[in-house]
């Protein structure tokens, strides 16, 4: 019998509530498919930061590195200045473990309404693969008041080390700047991953950029995409500017199968993807290092105003748990969880307020467990 240890960061706001339901469903799957799960809880988040000033410690990162998949609830609290928790916890985990792939399934499940008129589940079923460690999210930038200034900026990654020495002179009151970085190595590996996923599906891959305006950085992305595509002659490829693809997501989502994009644009279009699949409460995501430690989470925030009310939708978190099991090799269990989610939605057994129901967070988790058992008995 296989046994898995999974570290859990319940986090803030509704995070602990939705994680409880995710764990419940995964434990039920483990019982049905005869493997063991044990949980390792990490007290990381806003509450600890407010009390102690600690974000995530080096010893905690080393401990997390022993495992293949981390289960995250949500991080964020209005009592903490925006950006502190995101940079000090989420981005630090992504960069430390080189989770260079952000994987977002955009799939309209049966029983869910999309805001797009006349679109059905067969029309909305694609993957967005976002480069997760480069672009304008590398954290290099600053502000400079009028006059002269020298800035020494450094970026260290497993792939490379970069130093920028800037001599700045200007007569504006104050300027702000941000530097985006895309490396050939960083772009190639995520694009190769996208081609491999497209080979498993409909062999259709779209690349998203803004090369018509930001031609240096995103023209470079296109060049790398073109080089990699030569190794996959069976895959049909296309290019979209980010503003155009937001239009086509709404008008013709059926065109898309696998999409690969630099970091910033992936952040934008996956939120739109969440809406066309029915809302943030249904949207899971994975921060993936195929050969290291990955992290799976709902893409929604911590929603602190709903904390403790037992009304939040846990489906995105439960779906993220399914993605964990798929990563661990328990593919049948992972599929059964997703099938049970869809059956619950299509039969409207237990739905939270965002889906037009009045069920509690706990009732949704319980219903999905029952559905799993029914599916396995058929």
Query: Residue 359 phi/psi, 5° resolution?
Result: -75, 155
Tens digit of each residue's pLDDT (9 = 90 or more) over 119-137: 999 999 999 999 999 999 8
* Within a domain: 130: no
Rounded to whole angstroms, the Cα distance separating 94 from 102 reads 10
Find the CATH number of the domain harbouring 37: 3.40.718.10
Per-residue pLDDT for 194 more than 80?
yes
| Residue 9 contacts residue 42 (beta carbons within 8 Å) | yes
Considering the domain architecture, whether residues 365 and 261 belong to the same structural domain is answered as: no
* Within a domain: 190: yes
* Phi/psi-derived region of residue 74, left when phi > 0, alpha when psi is between -120 and 50, beta in every other case: beta
Considering the domain architecture, whether residues 230 and 119 belong to the same structural domain is answered as: yes
* Within a domain: 228: yes
Considering the domain architecture, whether residues 120 and 145 belong to the same structural domain is answered as: no
Rounded to whole angstroms, the Cα distance separating 330 from 34 reads 10
Number of structural domains found in the chain: 3
Considering the domain architecture, whether residues 147 and 211 belong to the same structural domain is answered as: no
Considering the domain architecture, whether residues 85 and 3 belong to the same structural domain is answered as: yes
Mean of pLDDT values over 273-286: 96
Rounded to whole angstroms, the Cα distance separating 145 from 42 reads 42
Range of the structural domain that residue 51 is part of: 1-107+282-378
* Within a domain: 245: yes
What was the pLDDT predicted at 328?
97
Last residue in a domain, options 181, 199, 215: 181
| Residue 52: band (very low, low, confident or very high) from pLDDT cuts 50, 70, 90 | very high
Last residue in a domain, options 217, 242, 276: 276
User: 266: which DSSP letter?
Assistant: H
What was the pLDDT predicted at 377?
74
Tens digit of each residue's pLDDT (9 = 90 or more) over 292-332: 999 999 999 999 999 999 999 999 999 999 999 999 999 99
Per-residue pLDDT for 364 more than 70?
yes
List strand residue ranges (DSSP E) for the chain, in order: 3-11, 36-41, 69-74, 101-107, 125-131, 135-156, 161-181, 204-209, 236-241, 258-261, 284-288, 294-298
Last residue in a domain, options 249, 276, 303: 276
Q: How large a percentage of the chain has pLDDT more than 70?
A: 100
Q: Count CB-CB contacts under 10 A for residue 50.
A: 11
* Within a domain: 369: yes
pTM over 0.75: yes
Considering the domain architecture, whether residues 312 and 251 belong to the same structural domain is answered as: no
Considering the domain architecture, whether residues 117 and 257 belong to the same structural domain is answered as: yes
* Within a domain: 46: yes
- Locate 177 and state its tokens: 């700047």
Q: Following CA atoms 199, 270, 7, 375 in sequence, which dihedral angle do they give, to the nearest 10 degrees?
A: -70
| Residue 258: band (very low, low, confident or very high) from pLDDT cuts 50, 70, 90 | very high
What was the pLDDT predicted at 139?
83
126: closest CA among 11, 46, 219, 208?
A: 208
Number of continuous H segments (helices) and E segments (strands) in the chain: 12, 12
Considering the domain architecture, whether residues 217 and 174 belong to the same structural domain is answered as: no
Considering the domain architecture, whether residues 232 and 210 belong to the same structural domain is answered as: yes
Rounded to whole angstroms, the Cα distance separating 33 from 94 reads 31
User: 80: which DSSP letter?
Assistant: S
Q: How far is CA 376 from CA 290, 318, 345, 362, in A?
A: 29, 18, 18, 22
Considering the domain architecture, whether residues 227 and 244 belong to the same structural domain is answered as: yes
Considering the domain architecture, whether residues 102 and 1 belong to the same structural domain is answered as: yes
Q: Following CA atoms 88, 90, 92, 95 in sequence, which dihedral angle do they give, to the nearest 10 degrees?
A: -160
What was the pLDDT predicted at 378?
66
How much is the mean pLDDT over the chain? 95
* Within a domain: 87: yes
Tens digit of each residue's pLDDT (9 = 90 or more) over 57-91: 999 999 999 999 999 999 999 999 988 999 899 98
Considering the domain architecture, whether residues 119 and 90 belong to the same structural domain is answered as: no
What was the pLDDT predicted at 332?
96
Collapsing DSSP to helix, strand or coil, 345 comes out as helix
Mean of pLDDT values over 268-289: 96
Q: How far is CA 322 from CA 7, 128, 297, in A?
A: 15, 17, 11
* Within a domain: 129: no
């Amino acid at each position: 019998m296989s046994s898995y240890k999974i570290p859990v960061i319940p986090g803030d706001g509704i995070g602990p509530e939705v994680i409880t339901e995710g764990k419940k469903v995964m434990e039920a799957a483990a019982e049905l498919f005869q493997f063991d799960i044990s949980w390792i809880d990490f007290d990381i988040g806003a509450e600890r930061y407010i009390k102690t000033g600690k974000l995530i410690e080096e010893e905690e990162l080393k401990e997390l590195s022993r495992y293949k998949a981390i289960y995250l609830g949500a991080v964020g609290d209005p009592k903490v200045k925006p950006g502190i928790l995101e940079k000090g916890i989420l981005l630090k985990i992504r960069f430390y473990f080189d989770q260079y792939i952000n994987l977002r399934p955009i799939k309209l499940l049966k029983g869910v309404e999309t805001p797009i008129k006349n679109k059905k589940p067969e029309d909305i079923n694609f993957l967005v693969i976002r480069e997760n460690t480069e672009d304008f999210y590398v954290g290099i930038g600053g502000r400079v008041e009028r006059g002269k200034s020298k800035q020494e900026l450094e970026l260290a990654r497993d792939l490379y080390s970069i130093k920028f020495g800037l001599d700045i002179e200007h007569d504006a009151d104050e300027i702000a700047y941000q530097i985006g970085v895309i490396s050939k190595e960083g772009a190639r590996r995520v694009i190769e991953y996208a081609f491999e996923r497209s080979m498993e599906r409909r062999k259709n891959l779209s690349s998203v950029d803004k090369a018509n305006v930001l031609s240096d950085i995103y023209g470079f992305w296109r060049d790398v995409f073109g080089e990699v595509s030569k190794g996959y002659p069976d895959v049909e490829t296309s290019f979209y500017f980010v503003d155009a693809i937001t239009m086509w997501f709404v008008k013709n989502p059926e065109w898309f199968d696998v999409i690969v994009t630099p970091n910033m644009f992936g952040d934008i279009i996956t939120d739109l993807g969440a809406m066309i699949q029915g809302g943030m409460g249904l949207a899971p995501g994975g921060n993936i290092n195929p050969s290291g430690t990955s992290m799976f989470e709902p893409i929604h925030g911590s929603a602190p105003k709903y904390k403790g009310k037992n009304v939040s939708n846990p489906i995105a978190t439960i779906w993220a748990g399914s993605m964990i099991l798929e990563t661990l090799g328990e593919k049948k269990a992972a599929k059964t969880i997703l099938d049970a989610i869809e059956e619950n939605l299509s039969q409207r057994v237990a739905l939270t307020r965002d889906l037009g129901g009045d069920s509690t967070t706990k009732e949704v988790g319980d219903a999905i467990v029952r559905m799993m058992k029914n599916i396995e008995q058929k």
